[in-house]
């Protein structure tokens, strides 16, 4: 596997992903668990955040203690389904700014169609974490990365719950500088470009629209 692809193997994550995959999981549980997995994936995706130290005093003595260097960070969900992951990221990195990128797949061509974009004013200076539960054909992720690079962003990561080998191949080929964090790499895509076994339509399951 490409060194830019990080499959996060953790028993808690695997267990929660199984609940998501189950077609009988309720909308409420699905939404809550997407958020929880968002937290667990963020833990890995932020592993390289730089630290500095500051002097504090414990009840016992003074010490130079590690603290985040305060690097500027933004999370960018691909609407709609990416919204389900934002809360988990913000619980881990409360100071992050949020940019929104509206995009849906045209159901015939599978090409992404952009309908909204609102980024933080200073997004070019920020490390950006693009979030979306599903990386299927890779069309939406590639378009999102193109747009974020268009703002001048240099350090971009992509975080997804489930990826298809095709999506990984397509994104790593076009954007070899982007690290991809995912909870699982599945077998492939079906004739409708849904991930197999996958978890179905993530947006519909998060928002209860089916
Ligand atoms: C889904 C998913 C991704 C995209 C992945 O969004 O959330 O954005 O499809 O597919 P791709 O890798 O083949 O581009 P969808 O178009 O269903 O929109 P939604 O989030 O509004 O439901
Ligand atoms: N979008 C989804 O929501 N699910 C898939 O399996 C593929 C794209």
Judge contact between 89 and 104, C-beta under 8 A.
Answer: no
Reported as a single tens digit per residue, the pLDDT across 11-30 is 999 999 999 999 999 999 99
Best of 134, 143, 190, 210 for a ligand 2 pocket test (most atoms within 8 Å of beta carbon): 134
Q: Which of 70, 83, 104, 62 is CA-nearest to residue 206?
A: 83
Q: How remote is the C-alpha of 168 from its chain's centroid?
A: 13
Ligand lying closest to the C-alpha of residue 210? 1
Closest CA to 131 of 82, 81, 189: 82
> Quick check: 127 and 98 in contact, CB under 8 A?
no
148-192: per-residue pLDDT in tens?
Answer: 999 999 999 999 999 999 999 999 999 999 999 999 999 999 999
pTM: 0.96
Whose atoms come closest to the Cα of 186: which ligand?
2
Atom of ligand 1 nearest to the CA of 78: 8
Mutate which of 200, 206, 207, 209 for ligand 2 pocket (most atoms within 8 A of beta carbon): 200
């Amino acid at each position: 596997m490409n060194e830019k692809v990080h499959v996060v193997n953790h028993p808690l994550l695997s267990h929660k992903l199984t609940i998501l995959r189950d077609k009988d999981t309720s909308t409420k549980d699905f939404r809550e668990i997407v958020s929880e997995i968002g937290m667990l994936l963020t833990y890995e995706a932020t592993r390289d955040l730089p630290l500095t130290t500051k002097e504090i005093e414990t009840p016992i003595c003074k010490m130079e203690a590690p603290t985040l260097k305060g690097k500027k960070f933004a999370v960018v969900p691909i609407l709609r389904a990416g919204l389900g992951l934002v809360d988990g990221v913000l619980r881990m990195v409360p100071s992050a700014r949020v940019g929104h990128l509206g995009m849906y797949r045209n159901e015939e061509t599978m090409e992404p169609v952009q309908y909204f974009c609102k980024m933080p004013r200073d997004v070019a200076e920020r490390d950006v974490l693009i979030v979306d539960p599903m990386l299927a054909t890779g069309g939406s992720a590639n378009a999102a990365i193109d747009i974020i690079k268009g703002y001048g962003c240099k350090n971009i990561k992509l975080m997804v719950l489930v990826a298809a080998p095709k999506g990984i191949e397509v994104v790593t080929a076009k954007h070899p500088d982007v690290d991809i964090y995912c909870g699982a790499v599945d077998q492939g895509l079906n004739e409708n470009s849904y991930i197999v076994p996958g978890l179905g339509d993530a947006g519909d399951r998060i928002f209860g629209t089916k």
